[in-house]
Structure 1
Amino acid sequence: MDACLEQVMRAVLDLPVGAAIRPDQELESALGVDSLFLMSIVVGVEAERGIELSAASIGSVRTVGDLDRAVGEALGAVGEI
């Protein structure tokens, strides 16, 4: 998992350091991430990484792994410029 994503998720969701964040976890049911939390996470990662996640990629995010892939794709797009 992207370290920045994990750090932002822990901060936004106020998760303790030892709490597991796994790729298979559903954002809403397992972590309580609603649309406002998701946007806070996205904005935080975008600011830290200097990337922009597309609305399409954000709209299809259901799990931590989905969000991690979206960040990875955005980072790859930055590298292609």
Structure 2
Amino acid sequence: MLDTRFEEILRSVAELPSALKLSREQNLRSDLGIDSLTLMDLMVHLEAEYGVEFDDDALATINTVDELWLEVDRVD
């Protein structure tokens, strides 16, 4: 389950419309239109909010909303 803070950060940083229904299966790039620079910015925001640190290869290996959430949630 995604949490509210995660969704808010994702929507804000990626400038996603509030009416857009997010699902775990959505591809960050092809479904949500997030480019590499925005993804990097998103990861920085998530690191600050959740106190996590993404691996160096995370930018290349995270493709879906679920994969991003699991990286954030794995530390909890």
TM-score tier (shorter): 0.7 to 0.9
- Structure with larger Rg: 1
Q: Which amino acid aligns with 2:27?
A: E
Give percent identity, aligned residues only: 35
Cα gap change, 1:2/1:59 in structure 2, threshold over 3 Å: closer, same or farther? farther
**Distance in 1, Cα, partners of 2:59 & 2:73:** 13
Q: Counterpart of 2:73?
A: 72
SS class of match (2:19)? coil
Structure that is richer in helix per residue: 1
**Distance in 2, Cα, partners of 1:61 & 1:51:** 15
**TM-score normalized with structure 1 length:** 0.80
SS class of match (1:28)? coil
Q: CA deviation at 1:40?
A: 0.8
SS class of match (2:57)? helix
Q: CA deviation at 1:7?
A: 0.9
Q: Which amino acid aligns with 1:54?
A: D
Cα gap change, 1:48/1:33 in structure 2, threshold over 3 Å: closer, same or farther? same
Output one character per residue of 1:43-74: Cα deviation in whole Å (capped at 9) or x when no partner: 0111111221112344311111111111111x
Q: Counterpart of 2:7?
A: 6
Is the contact made by 2:50 and 2:72 (CA closer than 8 Å) also made in structure 1?
Answer: no
SS class of match (2:29)? helix
SS class of match (2:5)? helix
**Distance in 1, Cα, partners of 2:39 & 2:5:** 15
Q: Which amino acid aligns with 1:37?
A: T
The gaps in structure 2 that reach 5 residues or longer are none
